[in-house]
Structure 1
Amino acid sequence: MLVAAVILAVAALSGCQAWPGGVGEEPGERAAATASDPPTRPAGYGTVFLGVDECSSFGTTSFTEVPCASERAAARVVARHDGRVGQGPLCPPTTDFVLHISESTDEQDGHDEDGDGSVPQGYACMRGLQPPHPGDPGGGGGPRTIVGDCVYGAGRGEVRETACDGGGKHAPEYEVTTAVDTEAQCPATTDLYVRLGGSRPVGCAVPV
């Protein structure tokens, strides 16, 4: 029997770490919940669990692959990578949340693609089918911090994302206005440096 363990990285708040010259944020996991894929997959879902452009249901503890036209469909896979999030490619900038997936088979009736008794670990970058989108600029969440996002001081040299419109639990204190290669390229008005990752890893933030 094929078992798919899915761990959700909830995109509500972003953990941040101190960074020389300012405060930087590294994409990371927000929270975790485990779930199992149904033992039998309906025909037509594809051989890869939650492949690109496939959809999942949404819940607090359970995620299953469902047809995108289904009324249960809540989010679409916009990118799918093998390995761990911290070791693989970044999700697209406006990803709403990440599902971490690992699959294994038993010895009697399991099925795997290459016959080695297991299916590689990976992660799916998910985008909700309906708004609100926490991964959008200023949305207050998502696995990445991008230009247009807002942050607040969380203490001990850390900042966390929050909604720019003030609708989150914490009021915004800084907004990331520019992404550059190095701190030296930030405008003179920059008060905070935020680690973004990607091709332009430095975010220049100003008070709001």
Structure 2
Amino acid sequence: MPRAVPAAVVAAVAAMTAAVTVLAGCQQPSGASGVSGVSGTGLEPGKAAATAAPPPAYDYEPVFLGVDECSSFGTTSFTEVSCASERAAARVVARHDGKVSEGPPCPATTDFVLHISAPGPTRDEDGDGRITQGYACMRKLQEPHPGDPGGGGGPRTIVGDCVYSAGEGEVRETACDGKGRHAPEYRVTQAVKKRSGCPDATVLYVGLGGSEPVGCARPV
């Protein structure tokens, strides 16, 4: 039986692919097979970080990458730019203080997350000289959008996404069109509050988080 299984302050980028929870105890039709998995809500963060000089003094505290503001292209660091600029790459769709693991989830179709940091004392809670100030949920200005259903990425797994078995106790998200590095094996067709709400054809339960945390998945 299958087991249902982040002025220029610097940012660390959450990776676009990651482990997904597979919840234990699903109903499996005769002859069906499934996979089990580890804890997670969509993406396993692969972090790259750097720091920049402190922002200039203001009479008020400006918010770096506030909602509806845009960031430049980047791999390890990002700058805030006008959304009309040719350098603009992505727009902030939500902005929260604190750590991703402790704050509200990003909107479902977020493409990636920026972990916003500022220069800090030599010793801090992580010993890395940076103080985490929050995170920005980003949506690219141009396609493709990995956070869209079936897109194969984004910080969350949502209805319409596909996953593949990544080893014992783990599944990972991949593009449903088969153009990713891994072929899709299961598609999340529905989100429900409890496993009992999934249809009989479900062979895998995937942890989604949110108000409807159980994803009902079928073979592709």
Query: Which residue does the alignment assign to 1:152?
Result: 164
Alignment pair present for 1:5 and 2:10: yes
Contact 2:161 / 2:175 at 8 angstroms: preserved in 1? yes
Secondary structure of the equivalent of 2:88?
A: coil
Structure 2 gaps of 5+ residues are: 1-6, 27-35, 122-129
Counterparts of residues 1-208 of structure 1 (less than 5 Å): 4-11=9-16, 13-21=17-25, 23=36, 25-37=40-52, 39=54, 47-104=62-119, 121-208=133-220
User: Deviation string for 1:125-151 (max 9, x for gaps)?
Assistant: 000000000000000000000000000
Please tell me the residue identity of whatever aligns with 2:14.
A
Contact 2:187 / 2:218 at 8 angstroms: preserved in 1? yes
* Aligned-residue RMSD, C-alpha: 2.3
TM-score scaled by length of structure 2: 0.80
More strand by share: 1
Please tell me the residue identity of whatever aligns with 1:145.
T
CA spacing shift, 1:189–1:6, aligned 2, 3 Å: same
Q: What is the alpha-carbon distance in structure 2 between the residues aligned to residue 171 and residue 119 of structure 1? A: 39
Query: Which segments of structure 1 move beyond 4 Å, counting only runs of 4 or more?
Result: 37-41
CA spacing shift, 1:148–1:142, aligned 2, 3 Å: same
* Offset, 1:174: 0.2
CA spacing shift, 1:165–1:28, aligned 2, 3 Å: closer
Q: How many residues align?
A: 192
* Offset, 1:35: 3.3
Contact 1:8 / 1:99 at 8 angstroms: preserved in 2? yes
CA spacing shift, 1:137–1:18, aligned 2, 3 Å: closer
